Structure 1
Amino acid sequence: MEATEREREAMRRAMSLALHGPRGVNPQVGAVLLSPDGTVLAEGWHRGAGTAHAEVDALGRLGPDAARGATAVVTLEPCNHTGRTGPCSEALIAAGVARVVYAVDDPGRASSGGAARLRAAGVDVTGGVLADEGRALLDSWLTVQRLGRPHVTVKWAQSLDGRAAAADGTSQWITGPAAREDVHRRRAAADAIVVGTGTVLADDPALTARRPDGALHDAQPMPVVVGRRPIPGDARVHRHPRPLMLHEGAELFGEDDHAATSLLAQLRDRGVQRVFVEGGPTLASAFLRAGLADEVLAYVAPTLLGGPITAIGDAGVTTIDEQLRLDVAAVERLGDDLLIVATPRRAGEQQQEGTR
């Protein structure tokens, strides 16, 4: 049975409700319960790990038997497993819901199967309603489910000759105000910003996401510093509005590419869905070398620096056949600077290019 226009309207409402919930380990999910005549009976959303899922949150706002014969409109397929809470499929069946409409299939191995369980109990189920909007809503969370780790953006700023700093290590500023504003906007969209101890010691960054007037963006990424060298007690990162996460790993990720994988696993377990790797060259190289970069942002300034400090270091390329090819997704003009947005090709695609 196709979704009615009233159900599609309720789905849009459920998607807006989902955004009230936190982005984290669990998906942002919204639900709307409709009576047989299309009247909204109750609304709900998921408020974080360990709390009632959206469907149960909505059901909890009704009295006994008030949902019998109702339609549940949910942004994600109702779960079918017991975790910190019980299965939503069983809660909907017990409440007497007659129909369930959802946008996106649950990709979880343990949690999926709710639609099949509902159908087996005689509930009418329609999936894929406003699926594109649903996937856009859950994009970051779905990426974590697919990759088993957060999405990783690796960013650097460089001169036209590929340098990240002058010979004495100074780097503020290679790019202009428009490029820096763009960086801060992208920081605000991330859940965590990762730098090495070398960057903290050299530049003393605040690691906040700021507007051009210096005010903080509403959303702030969690600051993460990687390395074994101690950070001074008066470093600006200690004044960040979110608690600092320190990850020892290997010093500068130099000897151990598994450190990047370990870091991402820790961040995933903390509910981080998007990681912004910002410095320095060795840290960026480690993520590229390990095949853990999903997006590259290269801010290129029309200036020449020369010297030994390149934008990235050892990327694991020893011969031209091993080069890490990228596909350019966009090129933007930001004041006098250029932003190149690119996505690394995966192993099979890299090999295919090498055989042409």
Structure 2
Amino acid sequence: MPLSLCADQAWQLILRTRQHDWQGQSRAVLAGDEYELEVTDNGGWQCGAVPSPEAREMLDLFLPLVSGSGSHVVGQLGQSLDGRIATVSGASQYINCSAALTHLHRLRAVVDAVLVGVGTVNADNPQLTVRHVDGPHPVRVVIDRRNRANAEARLFHDDTATTLHLVGSRHCNAGPGSHSTRIAIDRIGDEAEGDIEPAAILAILARHGLRRVLIEGGGYTVSRFLHAGALDRLHLLVAPMLIGSGRPGVSLPPIDTLDDALRPRSRSFACGRDTLFDLAFR
């Protein structure tokens, strides 16, 4: 009888693939208990054991994110069926199920950095660490063009993970916490429009050795990276819920015809009671 591969074993193999020297070798061969997992630099894989359905989905979803020597930027949004990430008052706990939260923590564990906008920091006071699964903590990155982050936010005051605070150079003064590093950016965005420039931000992160980046939120920040063509993938978690009105997830400039609509390659997976859409833009 062939050996089987469970989800926990698959996850450990994914974490090991993340540590592979992709610049030196374009193929990773990882030994398990009497089996091998072979991974190519585009995330393709073959396994000497038979994966369970959950393990197969996990390998399909995460190996493309940890393979290859280039940069990779993935966005993540959790929303209702009608595309809302919060009510009009900002309530969002919890639109998505516990399995979706576990998926988010897996995403954090496979990237070098997790990035959020200042609105997410002030609204949710997130930790942005890996707690629900095994894996390393990413560097935490806050986009705060006008330097308006809550100085008491947890990620500025704990030493669980490094925090980079990206502030527009016109507004850069003393940092909010002893456990964060403030970086002034001349081209963080347009002063009049309050915009952000994803290319400038990703260039800063690359200079810090942060190539794999998760754009975790909020909807505005993810949408700006999507509109700029800076996302390689978007993981969209859709809950079977109708909110009716509220804060949108993806929000892009209007188009005149459907010929201009984005049509990424798409795969869907069950994620608890939610549905995960894996959207590939490259």
| Residue 202 of structure 1: aligned partner | 123
Work out which structure has the larger RCO, using CA pairs closer than 8 Å and 6 or more positions apart in sequence.
Answer: 2
Superposed, 1:194-233 pairs within 5 Å as 194-211=115-132, 217-227=134-144, 228-233=146-151
| Residue 283 of structure 1: aligned partner | 221
1:240 and 1:168 mapped to 2: Cα distance? 32
| Residue 180 of structure 2: aligned partner | none
Which segments of 5 or more consecutive residues in structure 1 lack a partner in the other structure?
A: 1-15, 30-74, 77-102, 106-131, 145-149, 346-356
Asked if 1:241 corresponds to 2:160, the answer is yes
| Residue 306 of structure 1: aligned partner | 244
Deviations 1:162-187 (A, max 9, x none): 10101101111110111111111111
Asked if 1:250 corresponds to 2:189, the answer is yes
| Residue 280 of structure 2: aligned partner | 343
Deviation at 1:133, TM superposition (A): 4.4
SS at match of 2:84: coil
Give the % identical residues.
31
Deviations 1:253-295 (A, max 9, x none): 96545x2101111111111121000111111111111111101
| Residue 79 of structure 1: aligned partner | none
The structure with the greater share of residues assigned to helix is 1
Q: Max radius of gyration: which structure?
A: 1
Instruction: Check the 8 A contact 2:121/2:150 in 1, yes or no.
Output: no
TM-score calculated relative to the size of structure 1: 0.54
Deviations 1:296-347 (A, max 9, x none): 100000111122411122x23422332111110x3111221111111125xx
1:316 and 1:282 mapped to 2: Cα distance? 12
Instruction: Check the 8 A contact 1:209/1:220 in 2, yes or no.
Output: yes
Instruction: Check the 8 A contact 1:104/1:134 in 2, yes or no.
Output: yes
1:168 and 1:177 mapped to 2: Cα distance? 23
Deviations 1:191-236 (A, max 9, x none): 1000000011111111111116xxxx44011000002233223212
SS at match of 2:95: coil
**C-alpha RMSD of matched pairs (Å):** 3.1
Amino acid at match of 2:137: Q
Asked if 1:166 corresponds to 2:166, the answer is no
SS at match of 2:78: strand
TM-score calculated relative to the size of structure 2: 0.67
1:169 and 1:252 mapped to 2: Cα distance? 26
Which segments of 5 or more consecutive residues in structure 2 lack a partner in the other structure?
A: 1-12, 28-37, 44-62, 168-187
Asked if 1:260 corresponds to 2:198, the answer is yes
1:211 and 1:203 mapped to 2: Cα distance? 18
The structure with the greater share of residues assigned to strand is 2
Amino acid at match of 1:246: H
